[in-house]
């Protein structure tokens, strides 16, 4: 089925774009075009930002009673639940994510996030009155919408990463201009159709399409009040520079090179079963994955063999097949990047325990899950984000050295600890320099903040904390009202 779009969703309607140029969206499994989307130009971005600003004023989204906003978000969630399977399939055919992952994450994930923020919009007060510390009156601390949000998202989890931004922004009363990735634009346009059906007021969500140039124009636009970005560290640095110059608030969710610390008491069978998702979810194209596996020297050979056996046994193939664990990588360019890291790994003196090549398949940008042993933490394959199914297994002598290796990274996004003693795992988790850590599993909790330290980003998404990221706080000093 072909997905053809020739109009942009701006100000609550489908508009002709300013240019006739279009983008082709290609399936990484068949390597064939699955549809076309229009390419937005500066005039379209200007119109989208103006619409988002207008919605703050004219329809009063920002001043609406939060409970009324929550009603709209709940209707949006109900509509998204109806087409969850269809949106999950769209993600899979665009980026190759195995359908067993896209159905819960991309199909239903956004539904739960919206309902959570709708409930928060109802529950969290907009104002709090505090007695002044000097005793001379009171201060009303008031939360107001930050304004127009530029949301720029990547292709790896397009629906759910969009909702990480959209749901708290809308709950806070802000409005959004979304710039999806060129690889995954069709699902974003379906999201707009769904929002429209749910009765989201005009201008509250607008979508501009295109590549990095459209994103650059949007984040620097004078009408934008806040930037929320998920993507590579390289692009995040550029966006951070622009926002620094403009003194514009920004949230950056960037890359990672997280560590799995396998303790000497860990049960290997359940550890390896957990690593299948904690280290290889979405064919290795997930930002928080534990791609450096730290094994005690005393059990090094055993851990390496078990991880290699796991990686070698994962079913590779058609991402629409529910049995598939490893699908194709998103693009030919991404496969080249991953393969160039495999070559670097070989040159570094590390040894391939399994994988390293391409599986036999007529079409599709596949790379075999690959595990390197004898890896030094200073090697490029241990330091740089590969964003494919490539794991490194690194030995450590004692717990202090394991923590030192885990923390010896430019990144700090995720991480896992595998142990028979979760209390010991918690102790260790406190010492790992990263935004999130899982003990014996890794799965985001939408009620708790998610994000990274160091080159993994700035700020946090999810949890009640995300409401603050889309709000301005105002203090109003006044004489005591009750006197
Ligand atoms: P990317 O940085 O190339 O692109 C991400 C998005 O930003 C795309 O929409 C792109 O068009 C746009 N863009 C690129 N350069 C820009 C610029 N200078 N100004 C404005 N917009 C720009 O990343 P990608 O290849 O699409 O995604 C993979 C990367 O995303 C990986 O590094 C991964 O770790 C990271 N990621 C991070 C998280 C997280 O939460 N920390 C989650 C998922 C992915």
Sign of CA dihedral 208, 214, 220, 223: negative
Instruction: Indicate which atom in ligand 1 lies nearest the CA of residue 234.
Output: 2
Nearest CA to ligand 1 atom 30: 231
Tell whether ligand 1 has an atom less than 6 A from the beta carbon of residue 46. no
Tell whether ligand 1 has an atom less than 6 A from the beta carbon of residue 211. yes
Q: What is the pLDDT of residue 482?
A: 65
Is 482 a member of any domain?
no
The SS3 assignment for 169 reads helix
Is 483 a member of any domain?
no
pLDDT band at 57 (very low <50, low <70, confident <90, very high): confident
List pLDDT tens digits, range 265-275. 999 999 999 99
Q: CA-to-CA distance for 458 and 241, rounded, in angstroms?
A: 13
pLDDT over 60 (residue 208): yes
Residues 57 and 43 in one domain: yes
The average pLDDT across 117-126 equals: 98
177 with 208: CB under 8 angstroms?
yes
The closest of 241, 221, 224 to 42, measured between CA atoms, is 221
Residues 363 and 467 in one domain: no
Structural domain total, the chain: 2
Active site residue 243: no
DSSP secondary-structure letter at 298?
G
Q: CA-to-CA distance for 78 and 194, rounded, in angstroms?
A: 10
Is 132 a member of any domain?
yes
Tell whether ligand 1 has an atom less than 6 A from the beta carbon of residue 195. no
Catalytic residue among 79, 287, 339, 461: 287
Active site residue 287: yes
Tell whether ligand 1 has an atom less than 6 A from the beta carbon of residue 457. yes
- Ligand 1: centre distance to CA 286 (Å): 12
The average pLDDT across 215-232 equals: 98
pTM over 0.75: yes
Residues 166 and 310 in one domain: no
The SS3 assignment for 172 reads helix
Nearest CA to ligand 1 atom 22: 212
Is 450 a member of any domain?
no
Tell whether ligand 1 has an atom less than 6 A from the beta carbon of residue 215. yes
Q: CA-to-CA distance for 148 and 64, rounded, in angstroms?
A: 16
Residues 220 and 332 in one domain: no
Q: Is 242 exposed, middle or buried (0-12, 13-18, 19+ CB in 10 A)?
A: middle
Mean pLDDT of the chain: 97
Is 327 a member of any domain?
yes
Q: CA-to-CA distance for 241 and 412, rounded, in angstroms?
A: 20
Residues 243 and 293 in one domain: no
Residues 361 and 246 in one domain: no
The answer for residues whose C-beta is within 8 angstroms of residue 192's C-beta and 6 or more apart is 9, 205, 207
Distances (CA, A) of 323 to 94, 100, 364: 19, 8, 17
Residues 295 and 355 in one domain: yes
β-bridge mates for residue 4, sequence order: 36
Q: What is the pLDDT of residue 268?
A: 97
List pLDDT tens digits, range 309-351. 999 999 999 999 999 999 999 999 999 999 999 999 999 999 9
Residues 199 and 347 in one domain: no
List pLDDT tens digits, range 396-416. 999 999 999 999 999 999 999
Is 451 a member of any domain?
no
Q: What is the pLDDT of residue 60?
A: 86
Residues 92 and 240 in one domain: yes
Distances (CA, A) of 384 to 2, 51, 64, 344, 396: 37, 40, 46, 11, 20
Is 481 a member of any domain?
no
Q: CA-to-CA distance for 461 and 456, rounded, in angstroms?
A: 13
List pLDDT tens digits, range 65-102. 999 999 999 999 999 999 999 999 999 999 999 999 99
List pLDDT tens digits, range 43-56. 999 999 999 999 99
Q: Domain holding 292: CATH number?
A: 3.40.309.10
pLDDT over 60 (residue 258): yes
What percent of the chain shows pLDDT beyond 90? 98
Catalytic residue among 253, 339, 385, 461: 253
Tell whether ligand 1 has an atom less than 6 A from the beta carbon of residue 37. no
Sign of CA dihedral 276, 281, 286, 288: negative
Q: What is the pLDDT of residue 480?
A: 81
Q: Domain holding 148: CATH number?
A: 3.40.605.10
pLDDT band at 59 (very low <50, low <70, confident <90, very high): low
Cα-Cα-Cα-Cα dihedral of 456, 402, 264, 289, to 10°? 10
For 3, the token pair is 């997905």
Residues 239 and 109 in one domain: yes
- Ligand 1: centre distance to CA 236 (Å): 7
What percent of the chain shows pLDDT beyond 70? 99
Q: CA-to-CA distance for 133 and 98, rounded, in angstroms?
A: 56
HSE of 438, CA atoms in CB hemisphere, 13 A: 23
Tell whether ligand 1 has an atom less than 6 A from the beta carbon of residue 432. no
Most ligand 1 atoms within 8 A of CB, residue of 231, 245, 332 to mutate: 231
Nearest CA to ligand 1 atom 16: 212
Q: What is the pLDDT of residue 481?
A: 75
Residues 402 and 322 in one domain: yes
- Ligand 1: centre distance to CA 214 (Å): 13
Residues 216 and 345 in one domain: no
HSE of 25, CA atoms in CB hemisphere, 13 A: 32
pLDDT over 80 (residue 483): no
- The domain of 344 spans 258-445
- Ligand 1: centre distance to CA 308 (Å): 30
Which helix (H) or strand (E) segment holds residue 122: the answer is helix 109-123
Tell whether ligand 1 has an atom less than 6 A from the beta carbon of residue 287. yes
């Amino acid at each position: 089925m072909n997905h053809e779009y020739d109009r942009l969703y701006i100000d609550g309607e489908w508009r002709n774009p300013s240019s006739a140029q279009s983008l082709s969206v290609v399936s990484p499994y068949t390597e064939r075009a699955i549809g076309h989307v229009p390419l937005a130009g500066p005039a379209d971005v200007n119109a989208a930002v103006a619409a988002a600003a207008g919605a703050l004023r004219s329809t009063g989204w920002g001043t609406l009673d939060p409970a009324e906003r929550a009603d709209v978000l709940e209707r949006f969630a109900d509509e998204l639940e109806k087409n969850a399977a269809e949106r999950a399939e769209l993600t899979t055919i665009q980026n190759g994510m195995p359908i067993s992952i896209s159905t819960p994450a991309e199909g239903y994930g956004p539904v739960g996030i919206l309902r959570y923020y709708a409930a928060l919009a109802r529950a969290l007060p907009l104002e709090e009155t505090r007695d002044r510390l000097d005793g001379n009156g009171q201060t009303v601390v008031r939360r107001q919408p930050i304004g127009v949000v530029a949301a720029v998202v990547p292709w790896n989890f397009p629906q759910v990463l969009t909702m990480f931004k959209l749901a708290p922004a809308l709950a806070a009363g802000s409005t959004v201009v979304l710039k999806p990735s060129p690889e995954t634009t069709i699902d974003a346009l379906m999201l707009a159709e769904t929002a429209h059906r749910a009765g989201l007021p005009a201008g509250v969500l607008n979508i501009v399409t295109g590549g990095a140039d459209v994103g650059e124009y949007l984040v620097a636009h004078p009408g934008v009040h806040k930037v929320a970005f998920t993507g590579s560290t390289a692009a995040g640095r550029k966006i951070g520079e622009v926002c620094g110059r403009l003194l514009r608030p920004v949230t950056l969710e960037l890359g990672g090179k997280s560590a799995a610390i396998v303790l000497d008491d860990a049960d290997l069978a359940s550890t390896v079963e957990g690593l299948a998702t904690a280290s290889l979810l979405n064919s290795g194209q997930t930002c928080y994955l534990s791609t450096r596996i730290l094994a005690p020297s005393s059990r090094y050979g055993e851990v390496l063999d078990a991880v290699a056996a796991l990686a070698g046994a994962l079913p590779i193939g058609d991402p629409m097949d529910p049995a598939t664990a490893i699908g194709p990588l998103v693009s030919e360019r991404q496969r080249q990047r991953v393969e160039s890291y495999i070559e670097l790994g070989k040159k570094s003196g590390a040894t391939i325990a399994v994988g390293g090549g391409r599986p036999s398949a007529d079409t599709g940008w596949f790379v075999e899950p690959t595990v390197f042993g004898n890896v030094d933490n200073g090697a490029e394959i241990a330091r740089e984000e590969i964003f494919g199914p490539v794991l490194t297994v690194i030995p450590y002598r004692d717990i202090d050295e394991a923590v030192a290796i885990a923390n010896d990274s430019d990144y700090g996004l995720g991480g896992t600890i595998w142990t028979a003693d979760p209390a010991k795992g918690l102790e260790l988790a406190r010492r790992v320099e990263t935004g999130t850590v899982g003990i014996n599993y890794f799965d985001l909790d939408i009620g708790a903040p998610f994000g990274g330290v160091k080159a993994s980003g700035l700020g946090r998404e999810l949890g009640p904390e995300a409401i603050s990221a889309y709000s301005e706080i105002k203090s109003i000093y006044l004489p005591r009202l009750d006197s």
